[in-house]
Chain A
């Protein structure tokens, strides 16, 4: 489980690193925000948004797991952190989907 979460953590990190400059660039054009927001109503865009939020939650959860393993004293529940992280990411994705 830990190994798959680690790969998901890495892939989501790459995706976010690619997305972030685009996100910043779009925000800089806030003057045309209404036109842009209209465009984001499309279902494909909503799906992409959901994907990004889930990737962000996944990367956050995976990252917290790394910080816990590297800085907190070792306990047996450390082995369950990967499953916990995946569950958190799924929950966040679900929350976003429901809020849409």
Chain B
């Protein structure tokens, strides 16, 4: 193990460039440790995001050696090829500065995919009874742990060609709600995820499923949406 790491870090906006730093190598070092060291000891003008640093919030997601990852959960030993690292902001999102991206479009698409729960009961009604073993609930449960880190979104090839594509996270969220038997906005939701920007544009490259740090498979959820949308179209309900 070499004593130092050669780290290339993206600086500036969309038309910025990589800047090289030399960072002392330590045991059990994570990529977030490396970025933090650069900002604290070498260049205080470096902009980056993190919060929990223990793999729970998803704020520290960046592109490390070409792949989107949580930097706090990425050990340098796992990714440093011959003591070298390249760190860039997440793809498919506008760059604000250095390693920080503008997440607004990512979350706006959740809304556009009808990714909010819409209930029909009031406090006067009895509780909804949903069995955790029911087919729909099993499907929903497999996908609800998403924390909105945008690693899947940054890994999606379709987004590079089709910027208006809703993306794996938004569609995954829509899928959990399609499987929520209490939700009253199903027709509207299917309309939201049909069409050009919706589930039908997924080409099953599965980069999202490959990279999701929570082991969710947006590909599976999007396939479910495709089937639901197709059924609705054939039944004349779309």
A-side residues, CB < 8 A to B, are 2-3, 6, 10, 65-66, 69-71, 74, 78-79, 82
Question: A69 vs B221: C-alpha distance in the bound complex, in angstroms?
Answer: 10
**B223 contacts which chain A residues (CB < 8 A)?**
69-71, 74
Dominant SS among interface residues on chain A: helix
Classify chain B: how many residues form its interface, as a range: 10 to 19
Binary flags per residue of B215-238, CB closer than 8 Å to A gives 1, else 0 = 001011001001100000000000
Question: A69 vs B199: C-alpha distance in the bound complex, in angstroms?
Answer: 13
**A65 contacts which chain B residues (CB < 8 A)?**
204
Question: A78 vs B210: C-alpha distance in the bound complex, in angstroms?
Answer: 11
Binary flags per residue of B199-211, CB closer than 8 Å to A gives 1, else 0 = 0000111110110
The verdict on A2 contacting B220 (CB below 8 Å), with A65-B204, A69-B204 known, is no
Dominant SS among interface residues on chain B: helix
Q: Which residue of A lies closest to B207 (CB)?
A: A3
| Interface contact tally, CB-CB below 8 A | 38
The verdict on A70 contacting B209 (CB below 8 Å), with A3-B157, A78-B220 known, is no
Question: A82 vs B227: C-alpha distance in the bound complex, in angstroms?
Answer: 21
| Cβ B227 vs Cβ A2 within 8 A | no
Binary flags per residue of B173-208, CB closer than 8 Å to A gives 1, else 0 = 000000000000000000000000000000111110
Question: A78 vs B223: C-alpha distance in the bound complex, in angstroms?
Answer: 12
| Cβ A74 vs Cβ B220 within 8 A | yes
B-side residues, CB < 8 A to A, are 142, 157, 203-207, 209-210, 217, 219-220, 223, 226-227
The verdict on A2 contacting B217 (CB below 8 Å), with A70-B223, A70-B226, A70-B227 known, is no
| Cβ B219 vs Cβ A69 within 8 A | yes
CB distance from A54 to the nearest CB of B (A): 21
**B207 contacts which chain A residues (CB < 8 A)?**
2-3
Question: A2 vs B205: C-alpha distance in the bound complex, in angstroms?
Answer: 5
CB distance from A22 to the nearest CB of B (A): 27
Please name 29 pairs of A and B residues whose Cβ atoms are closer than 8 Å in the assembled complex, sorted by A: A2-B204, A2-B205, A2-B206, A2-B207, A3-B205, A3-B207, A6-B157, A6-B203, A6-B204, A6-B205, A10-B203, A65-B204, A69-B204, A69-B206, A69-B219, A69-B220, A69-B223, A70-B204, A70-B226, A70-B227, A71-B223, A71-B227, A74-B223, A78-B219, A78-B220, A79-B206, A79-B209, A79-B210, A82-B206
**B209 contacts which chain A residues (CB < 8 A)?**
79
